[in-house]
């Protein structure tokens, strides 16, 4: 059974430990600008929501890449960027409907969540359990749509 990140925004306090852990895991620095997961602050509602690549079944990023620099990791099922193959064209950033692939000016390449090889640092670092690593059938696009609907309803009520 494949696993994936499950995000429960109701538990997020906005502490940014996930962002710090991610940047340290990938760059050995505590710098949230280098994180592959971001905590979005909905100022109107006071809610914080962590978001990152959901490892879509459709994988628009993978199909859009003209040099096949995004592949599926056999062990985790994560769609990962192969740095040696990436030419930094940013086509995948346009193809991603969630905006979770980012161009890194320092390297001239893109980056996205790679599930840390099956041990996501963000989930390990989250003190409230807002980010967990669970069987893949518990997460996905339907849950994101459901959450987006909740936010729309809250904003309409405000």
Counting every residue written for the chain, the total comes to 158
Decide the pairing of beta strands 109-111 and 131-135.
Answer: unpaired
Structurally, at CATH architecture level, domain 3-157 sits in 2-Layer Sandwich (3.30)
Count other C-beta atoms under 10 Å from residue 43's C-beta. 7
Model confidence over 33-43: pLDDT tens digits?
Answer: 999 999 999 88
Q: What percentage of the chain exceeds 70 in pLDDT? A: 85
Reply yes or no on whether the pLDDT at 146 is more than 70: no
CA distance to 60, 126, 153, per residue, from 99 (Å): 11, 22, 22
Single pTM value for the model: 0.81
Residue spans per domain, the chain:
3-157
CA distance to 26, 73, 132, 147, 150, per residue, from 154 (Å): 36, 38, 25, 11, 6
Model confidence over 20-74: pLDDT tens digits?
Answer: 999 999 999 999 999 999 999 988 888 999 999 989 888 999 999 999 999 999 9
């Amino acid at each position: 059974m494949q696993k994936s990140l499950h995000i429960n925004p109701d538990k997020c306090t906005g502490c940014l430990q996930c962002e710090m852990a991610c940047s340290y895991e990938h760059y050995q620095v505590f710098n949230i600008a280098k994180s592959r997961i971001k905590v979005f602050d909905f100022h109107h509602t006071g809610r914080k929501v962590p978001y990152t690549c959901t490892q879509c079944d459709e994988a628009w990023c993978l199909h859009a890449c003209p040099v096949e620099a995004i592949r599926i990791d056999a062990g985790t099922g994560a769609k990962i960027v192969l740095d040696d193959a990436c030419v930094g064209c940013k086509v995948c950033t346009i193809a991603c409907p969630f905006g979770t692939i980012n161009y890194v000016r320092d390297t001239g390449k893109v980056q996205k969540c790679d599930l840390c090889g099956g041990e996501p640092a963000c989930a390990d670092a989250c003190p409230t359990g807002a980010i967990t690593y669970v069987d893949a059938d518990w997460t996905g696009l339907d849950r994101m749509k459901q959450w987006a609907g909740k936010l729309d309803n809250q904003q309409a009520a405000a």
